[in-house]
Amino acid sequence: MKYLMLVGTDPDHTEADAAAAPDIEDWFAYVSGAGKHVVGDRLRPSSAATTVRVRGGELLVTDGPFAETNEWIVGFDVLDCADLDEAIEIASKHSMAYTGRLELRPFWPLDGQ
């Protein structure tokens, strides 16, 4: 089962949380070594985001993300896991689980239900 892991910031954490956060290189070595990592990267901040819509047949291209919030998506990973518990386990070892927040979104394949 594939999960998109959205990596977001979250101002609500302590310095102790930040100090306890594991090294991201270790996480990447662990998750790719386990064969669970499909793809992933950092993302440029929302100032570099572009929103695309077509309305009334007209292409609308606007600067910025969908909505302004306190929390930004700063990266993503695609994980291939047996089930949600395995994905939670992997996410819990990511440094941003300590200083940000991780959202696991299951893939919804077009040939699935």
Partner 1 sequence: MTDAADVRAALGDAVAAERLRIVAALIRVTGDWDLAEDCLQDAVERALERWPLDGVPDHPSAWLTTTARRRAVDVLRRRQTERAKLREAQALAELSRDLTGDEPGPYGDDRLKLLFTCCHPALPMAGRVALTLRSVAGLSTRQIARAFLVSEATMGQRLLRTKNKIEHAGIGFRVPEPHRLAARTDAVLAVVYLTFTEGYAATEGEPFRDDLAAEAVQLAGLVAQLLPEDDEALGLHALLLLQHARRAARTDAGGELVTLEDQDRGRWDHDRVVAGLAALAAARATGRPPGYYRLQAEIAGLHATAAHADDTDWVRIVAAYDALLTLRPSPVIALNRAVATGFRDGPAAGLAAVDELGDELADYPLLPAVRADLLRRAGRRREAAAAYRDAVASARSEPERQLLERRLREVSGPAGGS
Residues in touch with partner 1 (CB under 8 A): 1, 3, 81-89, 104, 106, 108
Residue closer to partner 1 (CB basis): 60 or 84: 84
Are 41 and 76 in contact, with CB atoms under 8 Å apart?
yes
Helix (H) or strand (E) holding 39: strand 37-42
Residue closer to partner 1 (CB basis): 63 or 103: 103
State in angstroms the smallest separation of the CB of 90 from partner 1.
12
State in angstroms the smallest separation of the CB of 107 from partner 1.
9
Burial 31-64 (b: 16+ CB within 10 A, else e): beeeebbeebeeeeebeeeeeeeeeeeeeeeeee
Residue closer to partner 1 (CB basis): 63 or 89: 89
